[in-house]
Amino acid sequence: MESKFKSLSVFEFQSKFPDIQSCSKYLAELKWKDGYKCPICSNLKYCKGIKDFDRQCTKCCHLESPTAGTLFHKVKFSLQKAFWIVYFISTNKKGMASTELSRKLQLRQKTCWLFKQKVMQAMESSNIHPLLGQVELGLFDVGYLNKTSGSKKNEKNKILLAIEKKSKGISRMYGCHLKNLKQNVLNNFVKNKVDQEATLTTHDDLLNHKIGIKKTKSNIIKFNKINRATNGLKSWFAGIHGNVKYIQYYINEYCYRYNRHLMKGEIFDDLLTRMVKHEPRPYFDIVNYAPTS
């Protein structure tokens, strides 16, 4: 646990996790990194459980596995293959389609799709790291292929993007798929994603009118950063095919990856940590879950 997985190659991954045991061991180390606490009676002492790496409370005898209470809870296939899915998604710039995961791991496409949704849910913002300093907001349309009634149509969807400017670049960003342009929807996004002390600017008349953000009258070139960010997100969508219902998932994934562009080699480890800390998602919750920005 002392060393991070920087630039983890396929060979290195296979060496780190050659079997289910090694995966279970690593999850246990992540889960109880700060010590054991029984979820039933809050007792801090445990003994060895029935299986390797399980822990049993010495007070109420509650038995807990490394996967219990996480996004790996009751996974229906090999834990090692679950690790492979996280690895493939984290190490590919645009993730990996469930059809490709199915081919590589010899699992059903639906099985891969369902577990991939869990990985993408782990990419959702925690709202505890708001954008700071100079923050710029932009509103734009993005075309997205939506399947309806057996036909395909290209829909335009409103996306609100906020970027944290730093020197000549962009340090972080958050985005939101807007189902409407009501004032409270826009304000909630700003409240959750932007620090109260941040300086907000925009070149969008609607945002200026709806939520009172200062509109800069400078030349449009001054806004090349927000334009660069929106173009990057549009390019991201150009390579993705799916249902418009999950558009917020893809925005979250794009922002998650961008916000960690200086620690790309550690995304795999970060995702595993997030999945361990995340509450379980059974099938019904996955297919009916509405992701937030």
Supply the pLDDT for residue 224.
80
Angle at 182 between CA 235 and CA 207, to 5 degrees: 60
- Does 62 fall in a domain? yes
Question: Which of 59, 89, 122 finishes a domain?
Answer: 122
Domain CATH for 218:
3.30.420
- Does 70 fall in a domain? yes
Tokens in use for 158? 């409103």
Q: Do 97 and 179 belong to one domain? A: no
Q: Identify the domain containing residue 241 by its residue range.
A: 134-259
Q: Do 157 and 224 belong to one domain? A: yes
- Does 271 fall in a domain? no
Q: Do 109 and 156 belong to one domain? A: no
- Does 203 fall in a domain? yes
Q: Do 114 and 178 belong to one domain? A: no
Supply the pLDDT for residue 257.
93
Supply the pLDDT for residue 149.
46
Q: Do 88 and 25 belong to one domain? A: yes
Closest CA to 133 of 225, 176, 215, 196: 196
Supply the pLDDT for residue 40.
96
Backbone angles phi, psi at 277, to 5 degrees: -80, -15
- Does 142 fall in a domain? yes
Supply the pLDDT for residue 271.
95
Q: Do 183 and 67 belong to one domain? A: no
Q: Do 252 and 155 belong to one domain? A: yes
Q: Do 156 and 252 belong to one domain? A: yes
Q: Which regions of the chain are under pLDDT 70?
A: 1-7, 143-155, 214-223, 240-244
- Does 32 fall in a domain? yes
Q: What's the structural domain count of the chain?
A: 2
Tell me the pLDDT tens digit for each residue of 109-160.
999 999 999 999 999 998 999 999 999 999 988 765 555 544 445 667 899 9
Supply the pLDDT for residue 261.
85
Closest CA to 10 of 88, 97, 79: 88
Q: Do 166 and 250 belong to one domain? A: yes
Tokens in use for 121? 């849910």
- Does 277 fall in a domain? no
Q: Do 20 and 103 belong to one domain? A: yes
- Does 86 fall in a domain? yes
Q: Do 173 and 194 belong to one domain? A: yes
Alpha-helical runs (H) found in the chain:
10-16, 20-31, 79-91, 98-105, 109-122, 183-193, 205-211, 224-238, 247-258, 267-277, 283-288
Q: Do 75 and 166 belong to one domain? A: no
Contact 170, 229 (CB under 8 A): yes
Question: Which of 56, 88, 122 finishes a domain?
Answer: 122
Question: Which of 122, 156, 173 finishes a domain?
Answer: 122
CA 261/CA 124 separation, integer angstroms:
16
Supply the pLDDT for residue 163.
96
